[in-house]
Amino acid sequence: MSKRSDEIRNKYIQNPPEGMTADDIRHMSEDDLLDMDYFLNEDDEFGEDFPGAEGFYIF
In 10 A of CB 33, how many CB atoms?
18
The answer to the question of residue 59 being in a domain is no
The answer to the question of residue 50 being in a domain is no
The answer to the question of residue 53 being in a domain is no
If one counts the domains in the chain, the total is 1
Rg (CA), the chain: 15
pLDDT reported for residue 56? 56
pLDDT reported for residue 50? 56
- What's the CA gap between 7 and 2, in Å, rounded? 9
Q: What is the mean pLDDT of each run of 10 residues along the chain (59 residues)?
A: 89 94 95 92 63 55
End-to-end Cα, the chain, rounded Å: 48
Q: Which domain holds residue 26?
A: 3-44
